[in-house]
Chain A
Amino acid sequence: MFIVAVSALGFMAVSCGRLSVERAEALNQAPILMPDYAGVTVPATIAPLNFTLCDSFDVVDVVVSGAKGEPIHVQGTSVPCLPMDDWHVLLSENQGDSLSLQIHVQRSGKWFAFNPVPIYVSADSIDESVCYRLIAPGYEVYSKMGIYRRTLSDFNQTALVENTLVPGMCVNCHSFKQTNPAYFTMHVRGKNGATLVESPDHGMKAYSTKTDSTISSCVYPYWHPSGKYIAYSNNETRQTFHTMATKRIEVFDFKSDICVYNIATNELLSSPLLRTANYETFPCFSVDGKRLFFCVASEKSMPNELEEVRYNLCAIDFDAASGTFGSKIDTLFQADKLGKSVSFPRVSYDGRFLMFTMANYGQFSIWHKEADLYLLDLETLAVRPLDEVNSSDTESYHAWSSNSRWVVFSSRRMDGLYTRIYIAHVDESGKMGKPFLLPQEKPIEYYDALIYSYNIPEFCNGTVQMDLRNLENQLLSSEKPSFKYKK
């Protein structure tokens, strides 16, 4: 190890007032990075993985090097930010290979060398940005602050919509069609509440989605791959609180159904099989649009029997040409037999996998510490827990990248209270790389000061062209068109 430390000195010439790392003693241990970027797999276009060191030192010396390209060398009394341009060049030149992070620290004038830490640079590309809501933790049903877009190649976060745009407005669930921001739907709550639907053919329109034939307004959305339909759940949702603080809050449905919105005809379509006394929710179309996956649980006396409510993963056929549903429901994964409950099914866009969250009960896994991510192989119907990415705290909402090689998910592993965004690589066989926390310029300071949770992260493949004035005018309009229910 001493040899490694000494060899690293070869390119550590004293320059620009930088101290020379000489006669470093090998510590024979890996550095503890905050955030933990050791061994993560990243896309070549990711922003610099700035970090701090969980160790005391007077001076720290960091060298990031790869098989190709110029190494990045920074030094300081705290870990300096990695230079953006050099970082991108280095990653670009080492796609499909790995980088080595060599860290030396100086204490009382003596240098110490940590073991080098690898960072794997995937050859698989990733979408341009991630969109998410920032919300106060624990109150995911109401009080949305806004929807934000974060570019993955740098640290820029821009607000797409904030609740200051319209008085009393709360921004709720949003969804793109397979990461394409040209197709967008979003709920807005409050006295000017509406559901926005935007597509290239249809433009942007704000609707009232409650009909006489549905139990509630439309809630959880999912776009049909054709862009002609959106599946929604209708949920009569309540929240309640535990007496002990470990779980804090429960969100549950008294009733829930599923319907599919035909954008061209402004009609909600459904099937008696999707509108039973049981709780149907979290719709998700297959990649070819011929199947509709969803979760369903048997009806219980709520909230007294909440802990008995367990959702299974089911599917029904859907014919996009006629807007009709199949005559039977297939159960793909019977979680209730395992004493578990499925939520948030999401199909990879290559059609191979379906990822879902599984908790002990209920549909709102966000406050369930035991909630983990699972992967269903749609060819073999085999299900496995994603141990590569799961933690001892909550893993919850997740979304696939447009090429199905990356997954973004929210996890509460950082402090147990606030959900943060993690991104993990997925290979063709469904094996996941070690996930990495969404990089920030000063990650520890940033996340420490951030008193919002990230919610509903989705990859976004392009710029979101949101006409805010049109949005504002439509929301403030007293005459919003209503969805119609096709009987």
Chain B
Amino acid sequence: MLHFLKNKRIWFVIAWAVACFLFLQVYASYQFFYKEQMQLFLFSSDYWATYFSKPAWLACLSGDFLTQFFYFIGGGAVTVTLTLLVLGDVAYRALRRLLPDKYACLLALLIITWEALRNAGMYYTLNSTVALVGGFAVSWMMLSCRISNMYVRGLLYAFALLITYWMFGYGFWVLSILLLFRDIKSIFPILAIVVATVAVPLGLRSCYLLTRPQAYLYPNMQWMPNVDMGRERMVGLSVEAYFGNWDKVLKISNEMPYKSQFTTYFHNLAEAKSMRLADSLMAFYQPLNLGLYLQIGSDKSVFWILNSGEIWFEIGDMTMAEHSALLGQIFSNNRRSVRVAKRLAEVNLINRDTVAAQKYLRLLEKTWFHKKWAALRNPESMSKSVKEWLERKRSYCAKEDILRAGDINAAIRKLLDANENNQMALDYLLCNQLLMKNIVGFYADYAKYAKSLYMKRIYAEALLIYMAGSSEPVETTVVPYNIPASVYREFKDYTVHYEKGDTAYLKSRYGKTYWFYFHFAKKKA
């Protein structure tokens, strides 16, 4: 043991592993959670058989298996670090057959550092790293073989490249390059290596139905590292929302230096969850009403599409929640996702479509880390808390059918017709009208669904704008709507300064009011 610890290289490896773990934990921990959520690894022979439909079946099977462990806090960083250590070890062993020890060591270190950076990218999968592990492992074995007959050697190389491509996809490039270095002076082996390297992916791509670049690079999707703390925070919003940690969603969104439509979407959602959407609306960046809903289009990413359903699920619009989930499924890796399966199970349970829900629950029961979740929601063994949650969610669903035809507000009104206590839906309806500056529409919806019983400062401000534009004296309408006297006084003060054109005063005194937004917020060109 002591001898082991005296080896400086071991301490260096430990230091590298700790640094790698910390780097991945800081820059990619949320993205690791997201990667785990976007796959569905089943323990079933039929599912495993699907890996043979593309090259690199062993790399993808092993990579997806390991990705399951991203489920745990720190699991992603630990799993990737350990995989990189294995990669470093096999790379070193393979390279040592061709290079002096210190160069082999240095090159292996560069390779795993590069891989660590690539693994911090959102769309980089562990499958690609495992493909390299496989490539180096086969190279190590091949470089250990001593075959004097160059024809036998050449044929063996070609066969090894074929098998490596089949099992590890683009990991076969490692084997090809190292074998070329080894046999640089032997014409036949080089010919065999070059021909096999070019011909194997090209010949098999029709069977695998891949494009030329995909055939040569599968399962690698990204060459350059893409470390981005801003993206990590964005993914953090989505992941914390998925875990139901809405306070953390608020914390992340508040701390983000750059506020985007996506940030605002989750900030608004988190505020709405604690019934504070109306209170906080003007205190946060609002890109008109685009921060209330995420519009789906063919130009949007799978991440965007998947998250667009959160608002619909929370306010009770199960059709749109299912729509987003299914689109998320279509565009996810292998078109299977734990997160989507859970959402579809929930949606179908809420819709009382038990048969459809059980399909997804049975899928989840075939996983290691989500079967307990599925068991608690199985109609035959449903927990009491899930039953209560289900009843609450069902009470939010629309009871009258219309075709929404692009009208978000019409669909939300149906939710309010079904349950007037759906305060989240009401806030979204009213805030949408306000952010669109549709004061008449706001007043109509407020009068119908909120009445005077439900008063928030921003609604009082908007009602005063509406009343100022109506024929009746403002004073006569303030009382019935329970508009606080202080708000009315401020409105009069705001109006006086607005008419004077005193913008600086208005901004300093009323910059966070709806009045200021109403008059000065403009759509950016």
Chain A contacts to B: CB under 8 angstroms: 136-139, 143, 145-146, 159, 161-162, 164-167, 240-250, 303-304, 306, 415-418, 442, 445-446, 448-449, 451-452, 468-469, 472
Interface of A is mostly: loop
CB nearest to B208 among chain A residues: A164
Residues of A within 8 A of B399 (CB): 244
Stretch from B39-47, B67-75, B158-166, B457-465 forming part of the interface with A: B39-47
> B359 contacts the other chain (Cβ, under 8 Å)?
yes
Kindly state the separation between the CA atoms of A472 and B214 in the bound complex, as whole angstroms.
13
What mask results when residues 273 to 317 of chain B are scored 1 for a CB within 8 Å of chain A, else 0?
000000000000000000000000000000000000000000001
Residues of B within 8 A of A139 (CB): 326-327, 330
Question: Are B405 and A242 touching (Cβ within 8 A)?
Answer: no
Question: A276: shortest Cβ distance to chain B, in Å?
Answer: 24
Stretch from B142-150, B348-356, B428-436 forming part of the interface with A: B348-356
Residues of A within 8 A of B46 (CB): 442, 445-446, 449
Kindly state the separation between the CA atoms of A188 and B330 in the bound complex, as whole angstroms.
17
Question: Are B402 and A138 touching (Cβ within 8 A)?
Answer: no
Chain B contacts to A: CB under 8 angstroms: 42, 44, 46-47, 53, 206, 209-211, 214, 317-320, 322-323, 326-327, 329-330, 335-336, 347-348, 351, 353, 355-356, 359, 362-363, 366, 397-406, 411, 414-415
Cβ-defined partner of A245 (8 Å) among B209, B319, B406, B415 = B319
Residues of A within 8 A of B351 (CB): 245-246
* Given A241-B320, A242-B319, CB of A161 within 8 Å of CB of B362: no
CB nearest to A250 among chain B residues: B403
Question: Are B359 and A243 touching (Cβ within 8 A)?
Answer: no
Question: Are B42 and A449 touching (Cβ within 8 A)?
Answer: yes
Residues of B within 8 A of A416 (CB): 353, 355-356
Residues of A within 8 A of B405 (CB): 240, 303-304
Cβ-defined partner of B211 (8 Å) among A164, A249, A446, A451 = A164
Kindly state the separation between the CA atoms of A139 and B336 in the bound complex, as whole angstroms.
16
Cβ-defined partner of A240 (8 Å) among B335, B406, B414 = B406
Kindly state the separation between the CA atoms of A449 and B364 in the bound complex, as whole angstroms.
10
* Given A139-B326, A161-B209, A164-B210, CB of A243 within 8 Å of CB of B404: yes
Question: Are A240 and B356 touching (Cβ within 8 A)?
Answer: no
Residues of B within 8 A of A304 (CB): 403, 405
Question: Are B209 and A165 touching (Cβ within 8 A)?
Answer: yes
Residues of B within 8 A of A166 (CB): 211
Question: Are A451 and B329 touching (Cβ within 8 A)?
Answer: yes
Q: Besides A243-B401, A415-B359, A449-B366, 12 other CB < 8 A contacts?
A: A139-B330, A143-B330, A145-B330, A165-B210, A248-B319, A416-B353, A416-B356, A417-B355, A442-B46, A445-B44, A451-B335, A451-B363
Question: Are A245 and B397 touching (Cβ within 8 A)?
Answer: yes
Question: B169: shortest Cβ distance to chain A, in Å?
Answer: 14
Residues of A within 8 A of B356 (CB): 415-417
Kindly state the separation between the CA atoms of A446 and B45 in the bound complex, as whole angstroms.
10
Cβ-defined partner of A138 (8 Å) among B47, B206, B323, B359 = B323
Residues of A within 8 A of B330 (CB): 136, 139, 143, 145
Residues of A within 8 A of B359 (CB): 415, 417-418, 448
CB nearest to A146 among chain B residues: B209
Question: Are B211 and A245 touching (Cβ within 8 A)?
Answer: no
Residues of A within 8 A of B317 (CB): 243
Question: A412: shortest Cβ distance to chain B, in Å?
Answer: 10
* B320, B322, B347 pick with most chain A CB within 10 angstroms: B322
Question: A85: shortest Cβ distance to chain B, in Å?
Answer: 22
Cβ-defined partner of B209 (8 Å) among A136, A159, A246 = A159
Residues of A within 8 A of B363 (CB): 448-449, 451
Question: A257: shortest Cβ distance to chain B, in Å?
Answer: 23
Question: A391: shortest Cβ distance to chain B, in Å?
Answer: 13
Residues of B within 8 A of A451 (CB): 329, 335-336, 363
Question: Are A136 and B329 touching (Cβ within 8 A)?
Answer: yes
Kindly state the separation between the CA atoms of A222 and B232 in the bound complex, as whole angstroms.
50
Kindly state the separation between the CA atoms of A165 and B215 in the bound complex, as whole angstroms.
10
Kindly state the separation between the CA atoms of A305 and B229 in the bound complex, as whole angstroms.
50
Residues of B within 8 A of A136 (CB): 326-327, 329-330, 335
Question: Are B403 and A241 touching (Cβ within 8 A)?
Answer: yes
Cβ-defined partner of A468 (8 Å) among B44, B206, B347 = B206
* Given A303-B403, A451-B329, CB of A417 within 8 Å of CB of B323: no
Cβ-defined partner of B322 (8 Å) among A145, A161, A164, A245 = A245
Residues of A within 8 A of B347 (CB): 245
CB nearest to B347 among chain A residues: A245
Question: B339: shortest Cβ distance to chain A, in Å?
Answer: 14
In the assembled complex, 21 residue pairs joining A and B whose CB atoms fall closer than 8 Å, in A order, are: A138-B322, A139-B330, A146-B209, A164-B210, A166-B211, A167-B211, A242-B319, A243-B401, A243-B415, A244-B401, A245-B347, A245-B397, A249-B319, A304-B405, A416-B353, A445-B46, A448-B362, A449-B42, A451-B329, A451-B335, A452-B335
Cβ-defined partner of A243 (8 Å) among B210, B322, B398 = B398
Residues of B within 8 A of A303 (CB): 403, 405
Question: Are B353 and A245 touching (Cβ within 8 A)?
Answer: yes
Residues of A within 8 A of B323 (CB): 138, 241, 249
Residues of B within 8 A of A165 (CB): 209-211
Kindly state the separation between the CA atoms of A452 and B359 in the bound complex, as whole angstroms.
12
* A137, A159, A245, A248 pick with most chain B CB within 10 angstroms: A245
Kindly state the separation between the CA atoms of A145 and B53 in the bound complex, as whole angstroms.
14
Question: Are A241 and B319 touching (Cβ within 8 A)?
Answer: yes
CB nearest to A442 among chain B residues: B46
* Given A164-B210, A245-B351, CB of A449 within 8 Å of CB of B326: no
Question: Are B211 and A244 touching (Cβ within 8 A)?
Answer: no
Kindly state the separation between the CA atoms of A442 and B46 in the bound complex, as whole angstroms.
9
Cβ-defined partner of B403 (8 Å) among A164, A240, A418 = A240
Residues of B within 8 A of A241 (CB): 319-320, 323, 403-404
Question: A369: shortest Cβ distance to chain B, in Å?
Answer: 11
Kindly state the separation between the CA atoms of A240 and B410 in the bound complex, as whole angstroms.
13
CB nearest to B50 among chain A residues: A449
Residues of B within 8 A of A245 (CB): 318-319, 322, 347, 351, 353, 397
* A242, A418, A446 pick with most chain B CB within 10 angstroms: A242
Cβ-defined partner of A417 (8 Å) among B206, B214, B353, B402 = B353
Kindly state the separation between the CA atoms of A102 and B319 in the bound complex, as whole angstroms.
45
Kindly state the separation between the CA atoms of A145 and B50 in the bound complex, as whole angstroms.
15
Question: Are B414 and A243 touching (Cβ within 8 A)?
Answer: yes
Kindly state the separation between the CA atoms of A162 and B403 in the bound complex, as whole angstroms.
33
Kindly state the separation between the CA atoms of A123 and B265 in the bound complex, as whole angstroms.
63
Cβ-defined partner of B401 (8 Å) among A164, A242, A449 = A242
Cβ-defined partner of B404 (8 Å) among A143, A240, A415, A442 = A240
Question: Are A469 and B206 touching (Cβ within 8 A)?
Answer: yes
Residues of B within 8 A of A418 (CB): 359
Question: Are A247 and B42 touching (Cβ within 8 A)?
Answer: no
Question: A146: shortest Cβ distance to chain B, in Å?
Answer: 8
Kindly state the separation between the CA atoms of A449 and B334 in the bound complex, as whole angstroms.
13
Kindly state the separation between the CA atoms of A317 and B329 in the bound complex, as whole angstroms.
45
